[in-house]
Structure 1
Amino acid sequence: MTHPAPYPIGTPGRPWGAEEKAQWLSRQRRQRSYEEDVLQRIESLRAAFDVTEYGCLDYAPDRYPLYAVRNRDWRDGRPHVLVTGGVHGYETSGVHGALQFLEQRAEAYADRINLLVVPCVSPWAYERIHRWNAYALDPNRSFHANSPAPESAALLDLVAPYRDRFVLHIDLHETTDTDESEFRPALAARDGVAYEPGEIPDGFYLVGDSEDPQSAFQQAIIEAVAQVTHIAPADANGEIIGSPVAAPGVINYPLKKLGLCAGITDARYRTTTEVYPDSPNATPEQCNDAQVAAACAAIDFALEQGV
């Protein structure tokens, strides 16, 4: 029986303090450009959409403006729809899928919904291809009052005026091989607990809300995405990432209790997508297309219900 090597930072069994977090931060390197990959594409959307800066991350010496995109001519009586991407910066198709949705499909809904899209919630992590922010915090466990994660706090402030008006929120994510090779081992080391290896599902799946699963809504998305890429099967225990499969390609979490992004509104329809970009059976283009298909299917379903 083999045992995973200890994470290279910290002492096994002891949570990180300031010294260990500083050591971790010193290892992070910029690997891609938020300006080139994201902001330039957002800038090109100004001809068709309203683009607003809703906050700014100050991780000295770097500063990252945060942008939201909305369709013009918001009107009372139309359903409010929220699409978010890049809560975890390393999950590339979450960001590029949101941008592709804006570029290719969003205008078709402009006269039926009030659409708000935040393509990259965590730009510092996007550039470093990381799950955490610069404070070694996971923004997707930090969506709650007095959040210590500035990415999460800024998004909460943005949606606060419309929180009870949203009918739909779809949050675009990925599950990658690095979840097991880096991010879950780092989490265990940071928290001073033993790392228990898991299994990465091969394919697309959804995380719904265990408090209000909305099964028909989740299945409508799965059926649409299945036309683009394959759906993750359950493992030998009938689970995906340790949670029971509620329906093909669907598991459920208590979104609000866990401080997850998909729980930040009171929308009737809430879900988190999970694409698997490391699959030998999927390309980056398919992953982006799957995110777009999921967003469109979610909106179509909500509109068909007459919300």
Structure 2
Amino acid sequence: MTNSAVEGKLPAKKPRVSQFRRALWHINRTDLGWLVKGGLSLLNMGKLRSRRALVSQLPHSPALAQASQTLKQQGYLDVSDLVSRALAEQVARHAEDKLAKADALSGQQELGHKSFWVSLLDEDLRNGAYPASHPFVQYALQPEIVSILAGYMNQLPQLSDVLLTLSRPTENKLTFSQLWHHDHDDKQVCKLFIYLSDVNSLDDGPFTFMDAQSSNRFKNAPKSHMTDEKVFARIGKDAVHELITPKFSSFIVDTARCLHMGSRITPGHTRLLYTATFFPPPRIYPEPKPRFYEDGSPDPVSRSVLAL
């Protein structure tokens, strides 16, 4: 084997997806996924009771209750006025430190199917996990955010991952998450976003989606990713929400319910985005390796949200 192969410069094979996971994914794309979710919940009833008991330790107010209700009705929620600006600025400073390494990381990640964006947080991982004190984790653990999601999911949510992605233009045709799709990681997949750069126009590739009611027209679609032509043959463009908003705008979208797409960047533009993904446990898919590890002394609610 040559030195360049050892250094990871030769193409690597994509990891194979097990037939079991593939079958679960197809089931979860349909309403049969709710039966799987219900069965797993019955098997884990004791753990779920303990998680629900922790919800009482979260802040409660009419405003937070209304926010949960809005999320239930629409599938999305603007939380820009509810989140901590100080934490958002801390996240932004950490993100700025990563931007200088974007080109080098892009070269290492070219084999991934999303060539239009670069993941910038990989070097912060230790054995595939982030510390609980990481600013990106702390932003996701804000009590107000967890309280809204607990009201939406009727239990304490679990944080699955945090990401920092830089979307850039490519010459390739639209593919994967640039096309319209639902996420099928679970039956509820709530993503907390922050724009870490201004999204002033369509050139900046805004996160674009339809509310939950409009998205119902595309449930159980035979194709997981759809072109504009296929989508707008079934629904008018007036159903589309394009999040063209300034830096530090923060919002929650249930991407399992809301048809969405994004990262359609034009030359000369980029978009820097924070994403935290939550779901209601237990997972439909087998639990992966821990994504977070304890440092310091997280409170009981944070420990449970991080599955520590």
Please tell me the TM-score bracket, short chain as reference.
under 0.3
TM-score, normalised via structure 2 length: 0.26
TM-score, normalised via structure 1 length: 0.26
Which structure's relative contact order is higher, taking Cα pairs within 8 Å and 6+ residues apart? 2
